[in-house]
Chain A
Amino acid sequence: MGDTGPIQQAKLVLLGDMGAGKSSLVLRFVKGQFFDYQESTIGAAFLTKTIPEKGVKFEIWDTAGQERYHSLAPMYYRGAAAAVVVFDITNAESFAKAKNWVKELQRQGNPNMIMALAGNKADLAAQRSVTADEAKAYADENSLFFWETSAKTNVNVAEVFNDIAERLPRAAAALPQQPTGGITLTEPAPEQKKKSSCCSTA
């Protein structure tokens, strides 16, 4: 469908514990690179990537993972169309933190936000401390996509983003999310009110 249509911009945010591999996933997806010594993120990083086949340009906000900086997160996830919550499969604590992020997004994020859960560092399966079943069950309960990924060996990285791209509301549906220019159409509210009061008295 509409492959040649206009490119739609989508704000996407990555959240998750420090060292889970958020920056690495983004770097793999956007630039096809991976660094063992990927530096920690302070504040946030910003990257973009267009998937022409899906007609989507992702504007990706990669946030800092440490709890201490949690209060800054709303600045990055507000208005986001999608979120990827990342944990490290070798670290149970990071899975617990991922659940907290999901909760927070469900409570405070954009209600139509598309969420994915990424169990990263799948290449380190030998040191796994979160099973795929456990994570999958949690994802299903909360209607999240779930992928086990490896930024290092490039497993399922593009899949996470493609999945999101496919679920993004198409241009028409996305329209109300666009910033409005300050002009709101006046609704015929008074008439409707009259009608409804008519009905209620009837």
Chain B
Amino acid sequence: MVPAIRAAPTSHPIPQETSTSPPDAFDGSDCDDAHLSDGDSMMDSSEKEAVYVRDGVAAVVARKDRIMGRLSLIKQNHVIFLAWLPNSAGSMLPDGTFHVSSLMSQLTAPATDRTLYAVHPIPLSEVKAIRKHAPSFGTQHVVLVLSNGLTLPPLYFTSGGVKGLFSALREHTDLIKSAEDPNTYLVNSGGDPMQQSLSGLLLDGLPPSASAAFLAKTGDQDGPGVVSQVWEGVSRMTALAKQAFLESSVALGQPLPENVASPGAEWLSSEAAREAAAASAADSDRLSSGEADTSVGVFELLDKDLLESATSARNAPRPPPLNQEEWLSFLNTEGRIVNEKALRQRVFYSGVAPDIRKEVWKFLLGLYPASSTAAERAEILKQKRLHYGRIKAQWSSITPEQAAKFGKWRERRSRVEKDVRRTDRAQAYYRKKSNVRQLQNVLLSYAMYNFDLGYVQGMSDLAAPLLCIMRDEAEAFWCFACLMEKLEANFHTDCRGIQAQLLGLSSLMSILDPQLTSFLKTKEATNYYFCYRWLLILFKREFSSYEEVMRLWEALWSGHVSPHFHIYMCAGVLGLHRRQIMDDNLDFDGILRYCIQLSGHLDMQQVLRCAEKLCILAGPAGQECLTAAGLKP
């Protein structure tokens, strides 16, 4: 159950980001289009407040190791997060004096361990239960159990504050005393948000199995399964992300440079950070080592990183696309590809020059095996041409009398005809009627070749650029057939292909961006249907120029980084617009609308770079999310 949020009577507003910090890549503020940027108002409207802060809360990670830190509840964009972040060497008192508690003297955990045990802000909706221990002598402590079954290390309140925690919790969520144990309180037991969204219309049209899978995998359910796998992923992830972040910007123990305050310290303005740094050395120590820990999710950590890559994508000279000469250098004397991996990598990063696309795409799509010699390819092509001729003959020999008795075919044909005449007609290539005719032939042939699937809207979008490159019906047909091998499930009536990808995206987002995930939960929007079109036709409609679409598809087909790179692209686009989505407090319809309107306003290079970063960061944990959703590694 999503916490019912009421205004907190005792809240401490947290200073906002000031203009001294670099613009946030994820704000989309560097987006060219005015209706999307609107950067300033977005930042101002971001609501963040601490509803509970307690220093002197020690995590006991082994029998003797205690790490002092700060427990806080932060309200951001209508979602309450709980965080426990370690101090580097002690804790601050509210009056700003530095305090080393008696427990602190026992502090033995090495610095790396300290950050390891940090509880990065987790949405309160992920907390299942809290257990209070109030021994008659000794320190009060609490144990948190998460909805995935994970138990966090006990937190000892060395200077009190348990009562305060409970009253703050009560204010922002439903606490119910457990029937079995009076010291255990169930958090958010009021209902399952997934159940609620399932009861909505959205998943009703799906087969029961798909809905059940969706529920089991994304719902707040106990026990092992995807959720806990994902959580294991999170711990690995955050460590990784942290490392990446620390390497790239803040060296431990260094005073905080002005311009790096933003990524980690979302809720700690750079202004405030500098003031605090000036105030005391200990303080600055706390800030710098705690920097990475104060962030909410990887996106926050990466803000700066992504900003940099986005900027460099625009400014840095990029290697030119793979050209004829270089392409030939990848082939040995027989014409076999000698270093396929390097080739794929090259294609991923720079694309293919238009004049050799016709050849290279046939490899990328799998029409030609990489190991094939030039002679073998010539033979393959010859056979494929003959085969295409036979398929085409099957339908082109249907006489009007036969068609009159062949309703299924008539219906199929009329759908293809309706769509080809309005597919990419703005492209120079399709201004010519004969080319439109060829596209129609390719699609009718496919509708005959794969009669079980037939023609589904969206296919013409995929086939049109292929024909435009191949300029040959038979080759375009086989390239399309190869592409459909990968995408066929997208077009099935039961939506299973899209469903699996949406599910994969959903768990991927839960490890990459827990904050946005919980926001989406409150909007019952974790079905990610707003990414539907992106997945269905590989972002074809999101970019208006053929060149961009082709460049993007080459990157996808290269298979470098991930075979499911387009899913990371969805995550990337959402990441680039997360601020706007949350700051505007968009509901499901609003997000859907927002995503529809992104069409034509995305920066292809920026999205590619961002997706690549996310893919690397998510690492095996990311792939696990996708595998668990039924997507082959």
List residues of A whose CB falls within 8 A of some B CB: 11, 18-19, 36-40, 42-46, 64-66, 68-75, 78-79, 93, 108, 179, 182
Closest 4 CB pairs of A and B: A71-B205, A74-B201, A37-B425, A43-B533
Task: List, in ascending order, chain B residues with CB within 8 A of A37's CB.
Answer: 421-422, 425-426
CB within 8 Å of A: which B172-203 residues: 200-202
The reply to whether A42 and B533 form a contact with Cβ atoms under 8 Å apart is yes
The reply to whether B533 and A78 form a contact with Cβ atoms under 8 Å apart is no
Task: List, in ascending order, chain A residues with CB within 8 A of B589's CB.
Answer: 11, 79
The reply to whether B495 and A46 form a contact with Cβ atoms under 8 Å apart is no
Task: List, in ascending order, chain A residues with CB within 8 A of B592's CB.
Answer: 44, 46, 75
The reply to whether A75 and B418 form a contact with Cβ atoms under 8 Å apart is no
Is B281 in the interface zone, CB < 8 Å from A? no
The reply to whether B593 and A46 form a contact with Cβ atoms under 8 Å apart is yes
Q: Which of A40, A44, A79, A182 has the most CB of B within 10 A?
A: A40
The reply to whether A74 and B202 form a contact with Cβ atoms under 8 Å apart is yes
Please report whether the interface of chain B is mostly helix, strand, loop or mixed according to DSSP.
loop
Is B15 in the interface zone, CB < 8 Å from A? no
The reply to whether A45 and B457 form a contact with Cβ atoms under 8 Å apart is no
Number of interface residues of B (CB under 8 A): 37
The reply to whether B537 and A72 form a contact with Cβ atoms under 8 Å apart is no
Selected contact of B457 from candidates A38, A66, A71, A179, CB within 8 Å = A66
The reply to whether B202 and A42 form a contact with Cβ atoms under 8 Å apart is no
Task: List, in ascending order, chain B residues with CB within 8 A of A71's CB.
Answer: 204-206, 495
Is B415 in the interface zone, CB < 8 Å from A? yes
Task: List, in ascending order, chain A residues with CB within 8 A of B536's CB.
Answer: 42-43
The reply to whether B596 and A46 form a contact with Cβ atoms under 8 Å apart is yes
The reply to whether B457 and A18 form a contact with Cβ atoms under 8 Å apart is yes
A18→B459 CA distance, assembly (Å)? 14
Q: Which of A65, A70, A71 has the most CB of B within 10 A?
A: A71
The reply to whether A74 and B204 form a contact with Cβ atoms under 8 Å apart is yes
The reply to whether A40 and B206 form a contact with Cβ atoms under 8 Å apart is no
With known contacts A68-B493, A70-B205, A18–B422 Cβ distance under 8 A:
no
A37→B421 CA distance, assembly (Å)? 7
The reply to whether A68 and B532 form a contact with Cβ atoms under 8 Å apart is no
Selected contact of B596 from candidates A39, A44, A66, CB within 8 Å = A44
The reply to whether A78 and B200 form a contact with Cβ atoms under 8 Å apart is yes
A11→B590 CA distance, assembly (Å)? 12
A69→B426 CA distance, assembly (Å)? 25
The reply to whether A45 and B596 form a contact with Cβ atoms under 8 Å apart is yes
With known contacts A42-B533, A45-B596, A72–B205 Cβ distance under 8 A:
yes
Is B601 in the interface zone, CB < 8 Å from A? no
12 pairs, A vs B, C-beta closer than 8 Å: A40-B419, A46-B596, A46-B597, A66-B456, A68-B456, A68-B493, A71-B205, A71-B495, A74-B201, A75-B202, A108-B201, A179-B587
Interface 1/0 per residue, B206-224 and A, CB below 8 Å = 1000000000000000000
Selected contact of A64 from candidates B202, B457, B587, CB within 8 Å = B457
List residues of B whose CB falls within 8 A of some A CB: 4, 200-202, 204-206, 411, 415, 418-419, 421-426, 456-458, 460-461, 491, 493, 495, 529, 532-533, 536-537, 541, 587, 589, 592-593, 596-597
A44→B421 CA distance, assembly (Å)? 20
The reply to whether A66 and B201 form a contact with Cβ atoms under 8 Å apart is no
A94→B425 CA distance, assembly (Å)? 25
Give 13 new A-B contacts, CB below 8 A, not counting A40-B422, A42-B461, A71-B204: A18-B418, A38-B422, A39-B422, A42-B457, A44-B596, A72-B529, A74-B201, A74-B202, A74-B205, A93-B411, A108-B201, A179-B587, A182-B4
Task: List, in ascending order, chain A residues with CB within 8 A of B529's CB.
Answer: 72, 75
Task: List, in ascending order, chain A residues with CB within 8 A of B456's CB.
Answer: 66, 68
A63→B279 CA distance, assembly (Å)? 59
Distance between A122 CB and nearest chain B CB, rounded to angstroms: 18
Distance between B617 CB and nearest chain A CB, rounded to angstroms: 29
Distance between B501 CB and nearest chain A CB, rounded to angstroms: 14
A191→B456 CA distance, assembly (Å)? 58
With known contacts A66-B415, A71-B495, A75-B202, A40–B596 Cβ distance under 8 A:
no
A40→B423 CA distance, assembly (Å)? 8
Task: List, in ascending order, chain B residues with CB within 8 A of A44's CB.
Answer: 592, 596
Task: List, in ascending order, chain A residues with CB within 8 A of B424's CB.
Answer: 39
The reply to whether A43 and B596 form a contact with Cβ atoms under 8 Å apart is yes
Task: List, in ascending order, chain A residues with CB within 8 A of B421's CB.
Answer: 37
Distance between B326 CB and nearest chain A CB, rounded to angstroms: 36
Q: Which of A18, A38, A44, A68 has the most CB of B within 10 A?
A: A68
Distance between B419 CB and nearest chain A CB, rounded to angstroms: 5
Task: List, in ascending order, chain B residues with CB within 8 A of A43's CB.
Answer: 532-533, 536, 596
Task: List, in ascending order, chain A residues with CB within 8 A of B423's CB.
Answer: 39-40
A179→B590 CA distance, assembly (Å)? 13
A172→B461 CA distance, assembly (Å)? 45
The reply to whether A68 and B457 form a contact with Cβ atoms under 8 Å apart is yes
Distance between A183 CB and nearest chain B CB, rounded to angstroms: 10
A180→B47 CA distance, assembly (Å)? 22
A108→B493 CA distance, assembly (Å)? 21
Which residue of chain A lies nearest to B423 when distances are taken between CB atoms in the complex? A39
